[in-house]
């Protein structure tokens, strides 16, 4: 019996210092039927050379101008041929070489539409220095309004879910488009979500949402995400719960 195709999207821009780790972690997966889709923003360094030289998993490479990371992710999703879609960016890597095969097996056993798992946040300079670990608890309907959410690098979706959506990532939500997409998918009772009880990816710290300006921008974007989905939220309570959980993650590392 032929294994179902898995699509892994990697968005890159001048990622020569990090993308080899990403490529190797995909190449090393024990699951055999993978296409690796690279959406590159016309890198001017050696990113494209490294992709062409080292990617071994049916690479699909698009290098052109885009309107930011979420626009690039939308391009990648539309390009996918696989039954299951992972997003692994160019400074991330899979937690281990069994992530894909275990998640595909869980999809098969559970008949899920979405699998969500954890991520490890490492120091921006080294995957070996752990800043915090994020393993989500089990999702229940209306969990999002109570401060629950799951990390986007651990979010894996059947392609039919994306195919049935009129809009994918809202690119105007500058640092919360992924949050809004996950909210919209998971709070839709037609989509069955199942937890993967382990880490999916290791990501390097240092994104926009990790600094003070980014946190306040995130507040505003998340507020808009709830409003667009017509979900009423006590935002003072919501943000208190959300960031308390992040502090706990720091201490548990």
pLDDT tens track for 184-195: 999 999 999 999
User: Who wins on pLDDT, 171 or 214?
Assistant: 171
pLDDT value, residue 192: 97
- pTM of the predicted protein model: 0.92
- Would residue 1 count as lying in a domain? no
pLDDT of residue 252 exceeding 70, the answer is no
**250 close to 132: Cβ distance less than 8 angstroms:** yes
Would 154 be classed as within a structural domain?
A: yes
| The pLDDT of residue 1 is above 70 | no
pLDDT greater than 50 at residue 117: yes
Mean pLDDT, residues 147-174 taken together: 94
Quick check: 133 pLDDT over 70?
yes
Asked whether the beta carbons of 185 and 159 are under 8 A apart, the reply is: no
pLDDT at position 152 over 80: yes
From the list 143, 234, 216, 139, the residue with the least C-alpha distance to 176 is: 216
- The strand ranges marked E within 110-223 are 114-123, 126-134, 155-158, 193-204
Radius of gyration of the chain (CA): 17
Domain count, the chain: 1
Domain assignment of residue 32, yes or no: yes
Domain extent for 80: 6-252
Q: Two tokens at 70?
A: 């979420």
CB 105 within 8 A of CB 185: no
Is position 79 within any domain?
A: yes
| CATH number of the structural domain spanning residue 245 | 3.90.550.10
């Amino acid at each position: 019996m032929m294994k179902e195709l898995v699509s892994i999207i990697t968005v890159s821009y001048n990622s020569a210092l990090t993308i080899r780790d990403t490529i190797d972690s995909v190449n090393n997966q024990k699951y055999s039927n993978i296409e690796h889709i690279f959406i590159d923003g016309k890198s001017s360094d050696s990113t494209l050379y490294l992709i062409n030289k080292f990617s071994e998993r049916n690479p699909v490479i698009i290098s052109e101008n885009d309107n930011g990371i979420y626009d690039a992710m939308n391009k990648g999703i539309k390009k996918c041929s696989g039954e299951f879609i992972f997003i692994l960016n160019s400074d991330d890597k899979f937690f281990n070489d069994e992530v894909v095969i275990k998640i595909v097996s869980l999809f098969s056993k559970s008949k899920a539409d979405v699998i969500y798992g954890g991520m490890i946040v490492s120091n921006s300079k080294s995957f070996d220095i752990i800043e915090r670990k994020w393993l989500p608890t089990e999702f229940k309907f209306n969990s999002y309004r109570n401060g629950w959410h799951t990390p986007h690098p651990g979010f894996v979706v059947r392609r039919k879910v994306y195919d049935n959506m009129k809009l994918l990532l809202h690119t105007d939500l500058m640092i919360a488009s992924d949050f809004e997409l996950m909210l919209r998918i998971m709070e839709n009772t037609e989509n069955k979500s199942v937890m993967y009880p382990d880490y999916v990816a290791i990501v390097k710290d240092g994104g926009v949402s990790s600094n003070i300006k980014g946190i306040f921008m995130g507040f505003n974007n998340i507020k808009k995400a709830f409003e667009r989905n017509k979900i009423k939220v006590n935002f003072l309570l919501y943000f208190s719960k959300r960031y308390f959980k992040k502090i706990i993650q720091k201490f548990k590392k």
